Chains A and B, each alone.
Chain A
Amino acid sequence: MGVFEWIRLIVGGVFLISGLATFFTEIFGVFHFRYVLNRMHATAMGDTLGISSCMVGLMIFSGWNFTTLKLLLVVVFLWFASPVSSHVLARLEVATNENLEDHCTVYPELKMLEEELAAAADPAKQADPASSDQTKA
């Protein structure tokens, strides 16, 4: 029984410490990169790998009970929530930044697509090309 206890302690401790190391790497990346869309890479790593390894270590410590199940539920929830929040944050950054071209490449096709979508969303602008087509015809 004693040997099993020690093995459990060592394996769980390795998982927990590696999760902490991932968090440290995340903070390093956040201070290393220069722009939000780059920093998001580092943050996503901590949100998935860091908390997953910490929770796996704590699950090994806790053994077979409901606490383990709830820890697993936290990890599964973050698997779904973290990409969504990253996506929303990236949309916030792209929508509010006036000079996005200084930091990253914006492809012209994407800009054309954006203009098309804006024209489709706005009915007043959508009516314009149709009327001009009619006048041409």
Chain B
Amino acid sequence: MECKNFRYAFRDIADTDDNIHMEVEMIYHNLYITVLILLAIMLFPCLVRAVRGPRIADRLVSVNMMGTMVMVMIAVLALLLDEGYLVDICLLYAMISFLAVVVLSKVYIGIYEEKRHKAENPDEDEEGGMSDGSF
């Protein structure tokens, strides 16, 4: 970064092609930083929705939304740092986020079914932990 600034300060004596290249580099850098800051600001309303959401599905929807934004952040970071392997992490993040939403939905459906089953016939004994066939 210091080296870049040094070359940027003496651009009058540098030759023109290098000059334009440096300017475009600086614009790219600033654009990436701006996009990252905007996405980080937009993550907070998602967090608010995840805390306030009256139902469980609200929270899961907002977690899904946050996952999408973090994916874009990782992709922007991959281009900002010029490290191609960060996009692989982005792909893995997409898969794990999808898996988390599906598994949590199934778990909550199973919990609800079990609770309702217990409420319908309360005098049944407690054993039978494997009985939730929906999960």
Binding site for B on A (CB under 8 A): 2, 5-6, 9, 13, 16, 19-20, 23-24, 26-27, 30-31, 36, 39-40, 43, 46-47, 50-51, 54-55, 58, 61-62, 65-67, 70-71, 73-74, 77-78, 81, 84-85, 88-93, 95-97
Contact = CB atoms under 8 A, between A and B. Distances in A.
A51 B42 CA distance: 14
B88 interface: yes
A58 B24 contact: no
A23 B56 CA distance: 22
Interface residues of B, number: 48
Contact of B58 (A5, A36, A47): A36
B4 interface: no
A77 B91 contact: yes
B108 interface: yes
A97 B39 contact: no
Interface of B: 17, 20-21, 24, 27-28, 31, 35, 38-39, 42, 45-46, 49, 53, 55-58, 60-62, 64-65, 68-69, 71-72, 75-76, 78-79, 84, 87-88, 90-91, 94-95, 98, 101-102, 105-106, 108-109, 112-113
B27 A24 contact: no
